[in-house]
Amino acid sequence: MDLVMDSETKLNYDYSISNFIMLKVFHDAGVTITGLSQFMMDVNYNYSANADIFFEGIRGIFVNAERLSLYDDEDDSEFKEMTEALDMSSDYAYKMSDWRLAKVFGSSLKEEFIKEAETATNYLAEHCEFDIKVDLHYGIVVFLEWEGMMHEIAEAVVTIHDLLDQYINRLEGN
């Protein structure tokens, strides 16, 4: 007896598993995941649960989080300016910052932090379809061509978040 699964059903499972992993990553980072989007997906009806979970997750670990898109109905000049300034070609971007990032950027450790953050996420970014920039002006920015399976991106953002906590502890002498 052969078990057969059509491609849409497989894709539904793939996205749902990715979303579940993303919920776990954010939960482990201390984000209250109750109330986040339903992780089960049907690609025929709900293709944005992954982006919703990712955005709510980053809002749970960074005070300031913003989703920008080339396709926003509003003025996209900020998105275009940022992609040009950071020399990126992308359709979507997520910007993150908070007081901890400002504190590290205001210290003598800023260049070391930027280099270590980019090195820590380099492997994921090389093997997945996203780029991360840590910039003094824009903060932490994730660039995507499309909002697909995003659990690896969540892992990279949480890695930077944890690294940021380590730098804050260094600055505060803990």
In a domain, 121, yes or no: yes
In a domain, 39, yes or no: yes
Residue 2 lies in a domain: no
Concatenated DSSP letters of the chain: ------HHHHHHHHHHHHHHHHHHHHHHTT---TTSPPS---TTT---HHHHHHHHHHHHH-SEEEEEETT-SS--HHHHHHHHHTT---SEEEEEE-HHHHHHHTSTTHHHHHHHHHHHHHHHHHHTTEEEEEETTTEEEEEESS----HHHHHHHHHHHHHHHHHHHHHHT-
On whether residue 82 sits in a domain, the answer given is: yes
Query: Of 6-15, 40-49, 94-103, 106-115, which gets the smallest average pLDDT?
Result: 40-49
Q: For residues 67-77, b (16+ Cβ closer than 10 Å) or e, as one string?
A: bbbeeeeeeee
Percent pLDDT > 90 in the chain is 44
pLDDT digits (tens, 9 = 90+) for 77-100: 788 888 888 888 888 899 999 999
Parent domain of 68: 7-172
- Taking only the tens place, the pLDDT of each residue in 107-122 is 999 999 999 998 888 8
Judge whether 124 lies within some domain.
yes
Please give the tally of structural domains in the chain. Answer: 1
pLDDT of residue 96: 96
Is 1 a domain residue? no
Mean pLDDT in the chain? 86
